[in-house]
Chains A and B, each alone.
Chain A
Amino acid sequence: MLDALTLATGVAALLLAAWCGWAAYRDQPTKDWHFIGMAVVTLLTLVQLVVGVVWLARGEEPAQGTVIFVAYLLGSFACVPAAGFMSLAERTRWGSVTVAASGVVLAVLEVRLYDIWKG
């Protein structure tokens, strides 16, 4: 369950990065559809956070420690929205670049989450 979710979130994050990268390439700011995309990715990370906490509550133990695991869950949840809010104030291509960067960072965080879980 957690593995599939991690993979889905990572792929969605990369798609978001590619999409916003394309917008930046065409010299466009983030638009409503991009924000819907960010919302979808953020929803995935929220589900991941909830599922992760439920797993911990069931007594499961991540290989590299609970604290690090929760910190990464929170980090991946905050990653894309933070960039999204910043792009609201920057109505140029650079807002799109920032959101694209957040997608790449989120994908990396997902890989790290997988490592932390499996060891």
Chain B
Amino acid sequence: MTEQEPGRRPDGTRLAGGPGLLLVWLYGVMVVGAVSRSVYQIATEFDRAPLAYSLSAIAGVVYGFITYTLVRGGERARRAALVCCAAELVGVLTVGTWTLVDPSAFPDATVWSDYGMGYLFIPVLLPLTALYWLRRARAA
């Protein structure tokens, strides 16, 4: 390895390099976690907690899209990722508060329950970190 180019963006905005790599990996983990969980729950016991399982599925789709934009890179992808991360943050804060205020609406947990406590609070930390990274990627 003679050529090291951390943070270099030869064609457009590269988002999956440096700290972005960690973000891609964590988002990938959340995609697998949220999608597999909601697919299983919707397929086997949807009637038990339809709201919770639907929200998990939506979370999975959002995570999937953000992962795709990060890997793709470029200015348009960066903007799309910014919007989605903001939506994700709003989602996790709304659902997190909702589960605390009105637990009876959620017979079973979602990915975003209690601000993502069941996932080491990664769901609330990840969008904050990603928003910071995406803003910095423009400045560079």
Residues of A near any B CB (own CB < 8 A): 67-68, 71, 75, 79, 82-83, 86-87, 90-92, 94-95, 97-98, 101-102, 105, 108
List residues of chain B with CB under 8 Å of any chain A CB.
1, 4, 6, 17-22, 24-26, 28-29, 32, 36, 40, 120
Given contacts A67-B40, A75-B32, A94-B19, contact A86 B25 (CB under 8 A): yes
List the B residue with the shortest CB-CB distance to A102: B25
Chain B residues contacting A86 (CB-CB under 8 Å) are 21, 24-25
Q: Within the complex, which residue of A71, A92, A101, A102 is in contact with B18, where a contact is CB–CB below 8 Å?
A: A92
Closest CB in chain A relative to B5 CB, distance in Å:
9
A101 CA to B23 CA, complexed, in Å: 10
A67 to B36, CA, bound (A): 11
Indicate if the CB atoms of A101 and B22 lie closer than 8 Å. yes
Prevailing SS type, chain B contact patch = helix
Query: How near does chain B come to A97, taking the closest CB pair, in angstroms?
Result: 5
- State whether A94 and B1 are in contact (beta carbons under 8 Å apart), knowing that A68-B40, A71-B36, A75-B32 are contacts in the complex: no
CA A92 – CA B40 in complex, angstroms? Answer: 38
CA distance A59 to B1 in the complex (A): 51
Residues in A with CB closer than 8 Å to B120 are: 108
Question: Is the Cβ of A92 less than 8 Å from the Cβ of B25?
Answer: no
Question: Do residues B4 and A105 form an inter-chain contact, with CB atoms below 8 A?
Answer: no
Whole-angstrom distance between the alpha carbons of A94 and B24 in the complex? 12
Given contacts A79-B29, A87-B21, 17 further A-B contacts (CB under 8 A): A67-B40, A68-B40, A71-B36, A71-B40, A82-B25, A83-B25, A86-B25, A90-B18, A92-B4, A94-B19, A98-B21, A98-B22, A98-B25, A101-B22, A101-B26, A102-B25, A108-B120
